[in-house]
Structure 1
Amino acid sequence: MNASDRTPADLLSSALAADPARPLVTFYDDATGERVELSVATFANWVAKTANLLQDELSAEPGDRVALLLPAHWQTAVWLLACSSVGVVADVASADPGAADVVVSGPDTLEAARACRGARIALALRPLGGRFPQPPEGFADYAVEVPGQGDRFAPYAPVSPDDPALIVAGREFSGAEVVQRAEAEAADLGLTGPGTRILSGLAYDTWDGLNAGLYGPLATGGSVVLCRNLDRLAAEDLDKRVESERVSVIARLPSQP
């Protein structure tokens, strides 16, 4: 993290400048067997394409609210940083998607997402970012729309770090607050500096889950092994994953006190 980093998008820019080849997000889905690893450069490319989709195709503007009805997933992490890049508010696990300007839904939350009268984007959350076999009615398929977007992003309007950037569990954060809190809580998570690798099985519907699963590693030059459906993994297999992925610290898991 640099002293000039005041938004999550700034953190990503600094990470890209420092070491674009290092791993940033390694994702496992223990229901499907999927594993995908994204370097800083690959992750930033997905963020740029998604931010261009938001700004150019969906006409999102700073201050708009984007309801993210998505689980802890590498594509959710991409959307969080894309929202920060554009300056829109990422409303995670929104309780009121009907009031959002844009809704982004996984396959399990499509009915709730239909309450949004604005643009609707659906993610199949299939391995390798695959598309829906048949796009859900009333939704654009993210996997169809995003590949053709530009690889570089520049916001039309400056993004103020003091503006609302994130809503999670009913709490609103500015971009600056996200960065400051991620940095302040890093030591409590065991994120001691560059190269620290944290494994998290926490959901993205709380600050703790978002911090362990994205913001904390990004703020400290670390990386995350983000695990969905981790409760399906046997203890001995978790030990093997920790060893093979060179995990430095494990975030508190849902089953732990």
Structure 2
Amino acid sequence: MTPAQLLAAARTADPASPFLTFYNDATDERIELSLTSFDNWVAKTANLLQDGLGTEPGERVAILLPPHWQGAVWMLAAWSAGLIVDLSGNGAPDVVVTGPDTLDEAVAMKARDTLALALRPLGGRFTTPLPAGVLDYGAEVPTYGDHFAPYVPVAPSDLALAVDGTELTAADLVARATAVGLDAGARVLTTANPAAKDGYLDALLAPLAVRGSIVLVRNPKPERTDRRVADERVTHP
């Protein structure tokens, strides 16, 4: 099985179920994505990669995003399109995805394609000009379809992640996610980054593997934790 197949199975089983609830305590932003909504964002992004940028399976993408729901979208979109997410910080990626705070770092990587996310509510576009050659994800992605079909099917044996000197296949990722051992339907509260090596399991794949859900908090205010656990019916604080 692959991460994309995990998402498809969960969406098919309960499409309206909340999957990812995102809070930014610095701005009081809250957004909740059902499995259908999350899958639509993944599909649009994967279509942008495949049809808009012409990526091919086996190419590498570096994701320079803070803890954010769009980081989770990008991870699943890259895997859906057969790309290798490179969390090693080494090498030369074909595609770089960046937020506003890492624009200079992303441009310096000189990838074939660089996309920037404003990280505004509802996936809004930038309100200021971007460096030459950098695409505004918020402006590009809305034109792509809500359903994705890879031209080359992704196999469980295909490489999917480079991290800590190790390259993992799609099947390896599913096995690692299952091995975390969350209870079925777990609702996980986390501040980990789903697009980083310390969070791709706990803040994304492990809950997905048990058809659970995620409450992801950026810039957390500790005094809000107890109330949030109760309000969001968190089972794994």
TM-score in terms of structure 2 length: 0.95
Counterpart CA distance in 2 for 1:71 and 1:40 is 22
- In structure 2, what is the equivalent of residue 128 of structure 1? 122
Structure 1 residue 205: deviation in Å?
6.1
Q: Which amino acid aligns with 2:39?
A: A
- In structure 2, what is the equivalent of residue 244 of structure 1? 231
Please point out which of 189, 201, 213 is paired with 1:211. 201
Cα offsets for 1:69-125 (capped at 9, x unmatched): 111211010010001111001123x5247x111111111111111122301100011
State the secondary structure of the residue aligned to 1:248.
Answer: coil
Structure 1 unmatched ranges of 5 or more: 1-5, 251-257
Contact 1:197/1:246 (CA < 8 Å) preserved in 2? Answer: yes
Counterpart CA distance in 1 for 2:180 and 2:231 is 26
Please point out which of 60, 75, 78 is paired with 2:55. 60
- In structure 1, what is the equivalent of residue 104 of structure 2? 111
Q: Does 1:229 align with 2:219?
A: yes
Cα offsets for 1:106-159 (capped at 9, x unmatched): 111111111223011000111121111024112110000000101111101121
Structure 1 residue 208: deviation in Å?
4.2
Contact 2:190/2:215 (CA < 8 Å) preserved in 1? Answer: yes
Q: What is the CA RMSD across the aligned residues, in angstroms?
A: 1.4
- In structure 2, what is the equivalent of residue 193 of structure 1? 184
Equivalenced residue count is 235
4+ residue runs of structure 1 moved beyond 2 angstroms? 167-172, 203-208
Contact 2:188/2:236 (CA < 8 Å) preserved in 1? Answer: yes
State the secondary structure of the residue aligned to 2:168.
Answer: strand
Counterpart CA distance in 2 for 1:224 and 1:156 is 30
* Aligned-pair identity (%): 54
Distance 1:38 1:154, change over 3 A: same
Counterpart CA distance in 2 for 1:111 and 1:167 is 23
Please point out which of 4, 10, 21 is paired with 2:5. 10
Q: Which amino acid aligns with 2:120?
A: R
Q: Which amino acid aligns with 1:193?
A: A
Counterpart CA distance in 2 for 1:117 and 1:84 is 19
Q: Does 1:184 align with 2:172?
A: no
Structure 2 unmatched ranges of 5 or more: none
State the secondary structure of the residue aligned to 1:147.
Answer: helix
Counterpart CA distance in 2 for 1:55 and 1:135 is 25
State the secondary structure of the residue aligned to 2:115.
Answer: strand
Counterpart CA distance in 2 for 1:56 and 1:176 is 25
